[in-house]
Amino acid sequence: MSKPVAIVTGAASGMGLELTKHLISKGWKVGMADMNATEGERISKELGEDAFFKQTDVSVYKQQATLFAEVFRWGGNRLDFLAANAGIADKQSLYQTDEPLDEDGVPLPMNLKTMEVDLDAVLQGVWLFKHYARKNEKKGGKIAITSSAAGGIDTNPQYGAAKAGIIGLVRSAGPTFLKEGITINCICPAFVPTALCPPHMLSLWPKEHITPMSTVIKAFDTFLADDKMTGQAVELSLDKLYFRQPPEWANESQRWIGEESGPFWEKAYESLTSTAKKVADTVTETVTEVTNGLNGVH
């Protein structure tokens, strides 16, 4: 029987690296993605034949799509787990007072690379993963996304918005994906020493407020061990896992909207889904006809 296959993004350092090593030690094959090609290639060679490294900017869809396709083939046409872990801090301050201006004196667009890496790329990763999970011999798989317990940190509002968005994503998509055997959850670590923290600050952080890497691994293992747990956000603090639930409904109307309005929305969006499928089918037929015509096939 072939080994289970995972993709870990941000795999050349920090939590991604420790998770990669842990999975391989448990008999997994791991496709490692990271921007740091030097470290990624070095580490994958050290880890041996069960590690595959691909330099990837996850915010570039084509690069991430290529990563998934290559890992799927390398793993023997299977993909069981996605750890969407890659993340960066804010690249431009929302509070900047000397923002660059165009020739008309209007501020130039803000650098949103953080949102592109920390949220947009996660959505695209989920989009790609479910495609390959449906191709597995045993349909389905697991997704675990790295969010944060520091979602409200005022120095990095883009980072906070992206990490809060991840929690909304897993809570929204969890029940629906479970219908086809895919679980999606997220971890919200407290302070874990990684490259996200400026190096000169690491030594100043109070030691009693450091969450060890072992807690991170415990959280991932919890999700991997459960085929039904989905839509969950777990906070990691020191040596403990805290599963946080949404706040109680404000009233009965809010509860109905949150818990019982699903059939209404399915019907409301049914026509949109049908229209999208018709458009996709039409495009496919047109491309096929043009291709056949160019190839002289009638």
Among 246, 269, 290, give the residue marking a domain's end. Answer: 246
> Tell me, what's the pLDDT at 245?
81
User: Are 226 and 150 in a shared domain?
Assistant: yes
Q: How many residues does the chain have?
A: 298
For the segment 246-273, the average pLDDT, to the nearest whole number, is: 78
pLDDT in tens, 92-110: 888 888 889 999 999 999 9
User: Are 25 and 159 in a shared domain?
Assistant: yes
Q: Which residue has the higher pLDDT, 119 or 212?
A: 119
Query: Residue 115 sits in a domain of what CATH number?
Result: 3.40.50.720
What is the set of active-site residues? 159, 163
The confidence band for 60, taking pLDDT boundaries of 50, 70 and 90, is very high
Phi, psi of 189, rounded to the nearest 5 degrees: -70, 145
User: Are 59 and 123 in a shared domain?
Assistant: yes
> Tell me, what's the pLDDT at 249?
85
Instruction: Note whether 239 and 212 are within 8 A (CB).
Output: yes
User: Are 86 and 49 in a shared domain?
Assistant: yes
The four Cα atoms 285, 287, 291, 296 give a dihedral, to 10 degrees, of: 40
Number of Cβ within 10 Å of residue 84's Cβ equals: 29
User: Are 255 and 241 in a shared domain?
Assistant: no
Residue 30's nearest CA partner among 3, 7, 13, 2 is 7
Instruction: Note whether 254 and 206 are within 8 A (CB).
Output: no
CA distances from residue 130 to 37, 54, 99, 119, 233 in whole angstroms, order as listed: 27, 20, 40, 17, 20
The continuous run of DSSP H or E covering 252 comes out as: helix 252-259
Q: Which domain holds residue 265?
A: 249-298
